[in-house]
């Protein structure tokens, strides 16, 4: 009989899933590996402690983390990766979560990556997507000043250069027959955990730009409509479905637009709670 394949920590973005799979794997090797034994290794009197951290009911302090790393037997890069997983997975501010997520992306250098550093970088900064769309409205080779001017001078020369370099690496743009860089049809995809964090970071960046636009309130730069309503859960679900339908219609209009685009727009519709449930 073949020995069970060892789990690869770099295939995980959720430390709870990793700890569960590690425990199951080790249990097959050593039937005596009980929860009591695991808690004793972590110097915890509560016999359900390991089960609690495995389910996310308890947070892992720094001292316990050091013991946990020794218990699971990871060293060097794997140990750093586990620290990043736990830092990202435990309650934290958005900035802390973003820091640990970047660490996860940076430390994962295995061939089978759960998170790709370039993909995360694309979503992390709003201007990468903007530059990509902007290239379809202009002819660009090396005139980075043209990109900066078109984006209301919101990015620097270095940022424009970094965007072009990143988009080329991701194969999101390529030269056409005339040598001008244009967007390709490639679509970026990520794992579920990465998708959630990337999307959140992208939306935060976009909202910062919207705040600037609303403060300046220059005529013709935006169209904004807002309303606050009280609705039942059923009505709210109907509203969400209409938003999704409108999103599909807008994408269809953009794809079928045969005229040359002269500008890029961000179109956002948000539905978020203003009060708590009873």
Beta strands per DSSP E along the chain: 173-175, 181-183
The answer to whether 163 and 151 are in contact (CB under 8 A) is no
Size (the chain), residues: 278
Mean pLDDT of 236-244: 90
Give the whole-angstrom CA distance, residue 54 versus residue 236. Answer: 34
Q: Compute the distance between CA of residue 181 and CA of residue 142 in angstroms, rounded to an integer.
A: 9
Cβ atoms < 10 Å from Cβ of 271: 11
Is residue 69 packed enough to be buried (19+ CB in 10 Å), middle (13-18) or exposed (0-12)? middle
How far is it, in rounded angstroms, from Cα 236 to Cα 239?
Answer: 5
153-157, 189-193, 219-223, 268-272: least confidently modelled range: 189-193
Averaged pLDDT of the chain: 83
Indicate the pLDDT class of residue 165, thresholds 50, 70 and 90. very high
Global pTM value? 0.58
pLDDT-derived band at 248 (thresholds 50, 70, 90) equals confident
Query: Can you tell me the distance from the alpha carbon of 148 to that of 265, in angstroms, rounded to the nearest whole number?
Result: 16
Determine if residue 152 is left, alpha or beta; phi over 0 gives left, psi from -120 to 50 gives alpha, anything else beta: left
The structure tokens 């569960």 sit at 20
- Check residues 203 and 262 and name the one with the higher pLDDT: 262
Which residues does 43 contact at the CB level (< 8 Å), separation at least 6?
64, 67
Could you report the per-residue pLDDT of 195-233, keeping only the tens digit for each?
A: 566 666 667 667 777 777 666 666 666 677 778 888 898
- Inform me whether the pLDDT recorded for 2 exceeds 60: no
Place of tokens 């990871």: 74
List Cβ<8 Å contacts ≥24 apart for 113-118: 113/10, 114/10, 114/11, 114/12, 114/13, 114/191, 114/193, 114/194, 115/13, 115/190, 115/191, 115/193, 115/194, 116/190, 118/166, 118/169, 118/170
Distance of CA 19 to the CA centre of its chain: 22
Q: What is the tens place of the pLDDT at every residue in 121-150?
A: 887 788 888 899 889 888 998 899 999 988
Q: Which of 71-85, 89-103, 133-147, 217-231 is least confident?
A: 217-231
């Amino acid at each position: 009989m073949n020995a069970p394949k060892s789990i690869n920590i770099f295939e995980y973005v959720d430390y709870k899933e990793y700890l569960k799979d590690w425990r199951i794997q080790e249990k097959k090797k050593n039937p005596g590996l009980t929860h009591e034994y695991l808690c004793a290794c972590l110097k915890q009197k509560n016999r359900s402690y390991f089960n609690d951290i495995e389910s996310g009911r308890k947070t892992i302090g720094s001292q316990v983390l050091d013991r946990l790393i020794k218990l699971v037997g990871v060293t060097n890069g794997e140990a750093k990766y586990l620290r990043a997983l736990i830092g990202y997975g435990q309650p934290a501010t958005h900035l802390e979560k973003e820091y640990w997520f970047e660490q996860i992306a940076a430390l994962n250098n295995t061939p089978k990556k759960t998170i790709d550093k370039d993909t995360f970088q694309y979503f992390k900064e709003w201007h990468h997507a903007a530059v990509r769309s902007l290239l379809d409205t202009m002819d660009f080779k090396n005139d980075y000043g043209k990109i900066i001017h078109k984006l209301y001078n919101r990015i620097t020369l270095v940022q424009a250069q970094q965007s072009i370099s990143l988009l080329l690496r991701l194969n999101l743009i390529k030269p056409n027959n005339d040598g001008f860089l244009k967007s390709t049809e490639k679509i970026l995809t990520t794992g579920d955990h990465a998708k959630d964090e990337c999307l959140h970071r992208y939306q935060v960046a976009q909202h910062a730009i919207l705040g600037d636009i609303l403060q300046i309130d220059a005529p013709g730069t935006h169209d904004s409509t807002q309303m606050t309503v009280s609705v039942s859960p059923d009505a709210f679900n109907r509203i969400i479905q209409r938003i999704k339908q409108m999103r599909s219609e807008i994408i269809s209009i953009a794809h079928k637009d045969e005229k040359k685009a002269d500008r890029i727009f961000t179109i956002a519709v948000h539905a978020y709670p203003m009060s708590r449930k009873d």
